[in-house]
Amino acid sequence: MQHLEAEGLSTDNLRLWVDLGIWLVESYVAQFEYDQAWQVIKQVDGQLQKRERLVVEMRREQAWLDLLSGDLTLYSGGNRCLAIEFYQKGLEQISALEDPWDISLALWKNAYVHDQAGNRYESGSYAEQALTIQRGLGAPQLLSEIWADLGYFYMLTGDYEAGLQVAKELAANQMCINTPFSQAFAIGHLGFALFYAGQYEQARLMFEQAIPAYTQPGEIGWRLFDRYFLTCIDLMTGEYEAVLNGTAYVGETLNISYQNLLSLFRGLAYLVYSDMDKAEQELQQYLEEVRSQPRMDMIGQPLALLGYVAYRRGESNKASDYLEQALVNGLEYGFFWVFMQVLSVLALMYAEAGDVEQAVELYATVTAHPCAGNSKWFEDLFGKPLREMCANLPAETVAAAQARGRGRKLRKVGEDYLKRLREKTILRV
């Protein structure tokens, strides 16, 4: 490509030249040769900019260059916000051409980048729009990608039933592709759905089945991702030493970024052991990592648990600040796990301040979701102490509080308690 002169080419030949450039970029991206891909994009874009009169005629080609620039920015570990700009620009140009297949692809790319950046609601919206179009077109590979991102949206916003349904749809779709990777991908995605439905042991079986099938160099990331969930399953099922020893990653080579991401689970394990210093260190390390990426929906978790650490140290103002920041993050980016953790900490605060009935109601909202209700970690850190503190409450009082709590939605309760934190009424309690 570097030796092909575009000067003097006719419009038709220039279009062929540009199409060749786009094909080269896609080939380089598939081979992880990102520097080469960027060189080609700059060369092609430069030629298009010299011919302003052709910009409108070649809008589709320009849109593809923007979408590919988004791919390169994202896949090479670049700025996710910049990748979003590229994808959005490409979508705007593609939409003007009114080609359903191209539009669905551009919508999916926007869904994917927002998923990677942790913008849950944007990702879900783009995925739903892409699915509406692509259902009628029926391209199995693209449908698979759309189903996956839509599934992540449902799972991470707490709609585990919809997440399971999407996982089943994706699995049926993957039968049309029928490659080792597609089968492993479908099994792993079902593992995610089962995990977010609180069916931890069933999820473990899915991941253990999928992991050996990821054998190609480009599939290593999926294998590590599945092992990441195995580590979380160890945590949720009370295998704390396995978490601290990194049992799920034996034999794998991890970069610094991945090790920092695993620090979340180590921090949660240390909380159960009441080692607040080590927990704080691990949680701060994880927080720095997700802020640097940035992965916005993952920021609320460490903030919530740093609030727990501060509370256990008797720093109530600091604890409330952390919890307030966590709820703001959860409400903006939608990760339901943040609400479960913040409300669990608040339940302990209420119980230890003497308002046990309010604590019971709060924790019942949390455990109504099977991710918390079936979790040994939630039970060890929050459930057992709360149960001991409410031992003297009349059984009918406990039952009534639990019924009220189970009838409320995590997000709505999160909104209510953010207002209380801002008004400092919790501190007065």
Pairwise pLDDT comparison (176 vs 411), residue with the higher score:
411
Domain segments of the chain: what residues? 1-98
Is residue 9 over pLDDT 90?
A: no
Is residue 16 over pLDDT 90?
A: no
Cα radius of gyration (the chain)? 24
Is residue 426 over pLDDT 80?
A: no
Please tell me the distance from the alpha carbon of residue 304 to that of residue 306, in angstroms, as a whole number: 6
Is residue 260 over pLDDT 70?
A: yes
Pairwise pLDDT comparison (100 vs 257), residue with the higher score:
100
pLDDT recorded at residue 134: 94
Could you give the residue ranges of the DSSP H alpha helices within 98-177?
100-117, 120-134, 140-156, 160-174
User: For 142, what's the count of Cα atoms within 13 Å in the CB-facing half-sphere?
Assistant: 22
pLDDT recorded at residue 55: 62
Is residue 244 over pLDDT 80?
A: yes
| Under 8 Å between Cβ of 426 and 349 | yes
Is residue 161 over pLDDT 50?
A: yes
pLDDT recorded at residue 4: 45
Q: Mean pLDDT in the chain? A: 92
pLDDT recorded at residue 110: 98
SS (H, E, C) 51-115: CHHHCCCCHHHHHHHHHHHHHHHHHCCCCHHHHHHHHHHHHHHHHHHCCHHHHHHHHHHHHHHHH
Please tell me the distance from the alpha carbon of residue 265 to that of residue 108, in angstroms, as a whole number: 31
pLDDT recorded at residue 118: 93
Pairwise pLDDT comparison (49 vs 273), residue with the higher score:
273
Is residue 320 over pLDDT 70?
A: yes
pLDDT tens digits, 355-395: 999 999 999 999 999 999 999 999 999 999 999 999 999 99
Is residue 429 over pLDDT 60?
A: no
pTM to 2 decimals? Answer: 0.91
pLDDT tens digits, 40-80: 999 888 887 777 666 667 888 889 999 999 999 998 887 88
Residue located via tokens 């620039």: 69
- 245 Cβ contact partners less than 8 Å away, ≥ 6 residues apart: none
What mean pLDDT do residues 163-170 have?
Answer: 94
Pairwise pLDDT comparison (257 vs 411), residue with the higher score:
411
pLDDT band (50, 70, 90) for residue 7: low
pLDDT tens digits, 213-229: 998 888 888 999 999 99
pLDDT recorded at residue 3: 44
pLDDT band (50, 70, 90) for residue 1: very low
